[in-house]
């Protein structure tokens, strides 16, 4: 399956919100997506297959640090390398902004996503207890540093 990655705009907010509904138990609304896209701090990229938005990645960069909000691929388009390509495009874009580090949270049970992030260079750096709801679950905090080190001081946000 072929796909093309493009920067998303507010016009793509409804399609992103539809993918959110397919992939997450607490999806973002179209309005929330549009607000983030137009904030000036966010980068959103989409993978398009035959003109249809098949997946996306979004995150925000402030003061040299980037947080990935979500990476999602609609179920019918999974296992085609889209998520990996979206992560690669996102990393390339935020490096141009001179970000120093990228953070993300992932459900502790989402082993396929954890593996994908590790293959993309992210390392575990903490736990956010009961971060997710529907169902309640811990989040693993992961980071990718661009200074060549992946050292961290392990922490737990409930201590």
The domains located in the chain, with CATH, are 1-97 (3.40.630.30), 100-159 (3.40.630.30)
Q: How confident is the model at residue 151 (pLDDT cuts 50, 70, 90)?
A: low
Instruction: Summarize the confidence of residues 24-30 as an average pLDDT.
Output: 93
pLDDT for 115 equals 95
Cβ 17 vs Cβ 27: under 8 Å: yes
Q: Percent of the chain at pLDDT above 70?
A: 92
Note the pTM of the prediction, 2 decimals: 0.89
Cβ 11 vs Cβ 53: under 8 Å: no
pLDDT for 146 equals 84
| Residue that is written with structure tokens 């994908």 in the block | 116
**Per-residue pLDDT for 69 more than 90?**
yes
Q: What is the dihedral of CA 32, 36, 89, 112, to 10 degrees?
A: -40
Q: How confident is the model at residue 134 (pLDDT cuts 50, 70, 90)?
A: confident
Q: How confident is the model at residue 159 (pLDDT cuts 50, 70, 90)?
A: very low
Instruction: Summarize the confidence of residues 77-95 as an average pLDDT.
Output: 94
**Which residue numbers are catalytic?**
105, 117
Cβ 59 vs Cβ 66: under 8 Å: yes
- Lookup: tokens for 132: 């997710």
As a whole number of angstroms, the distance between CA 58 and CA 7 comes to 10
CA atoms within 13 A on the CB side of 102: 28
Q: Which helix (H) or strand (E) holds 142?
A: strand 137-145
| Residue that is written with structure tokens 């040299």 in the block | 64
R_g over Cα of the chain: 15
Residue 11 dihedral angles phi and psi, to the nearest 5° = -60, -20
Tell me the β-bridge partners of 61.
66
């Amino acid at each position: 399956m072929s796909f093309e990655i493009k920067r998303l705009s507010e016009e793509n907010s409804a399609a992103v919100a539809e993918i959110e509904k397919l992939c997450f138990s607490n999806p973002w609304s179209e309005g929330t997506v549009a607000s983030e896209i137009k904030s000036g701090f966010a980068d959103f990229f989409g993978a398009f297959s035959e003109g249809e938005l098949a997946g996306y990645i979004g995150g925000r960069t402030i003061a040299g640090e980037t947080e990935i909000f979500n990476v999602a691929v609609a179920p019918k388009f999974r296992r085609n390398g889209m998520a990996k390509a979206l992560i690669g495009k996102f990393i390339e874009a935020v490096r141009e902004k001179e970000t120093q580090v990228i953070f993300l949270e992932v459900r502790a049970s989402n082993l396929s996503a954890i593996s994908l992030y590790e293959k993309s260079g992210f390392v575990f750096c903490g736990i956010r207890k009961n971060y997710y709801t529907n169902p309640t679950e811990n989040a693993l905090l992961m980071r990718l540093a661009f200074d060549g080190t992946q050292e961290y001081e392990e922490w737990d946000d409930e201590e």
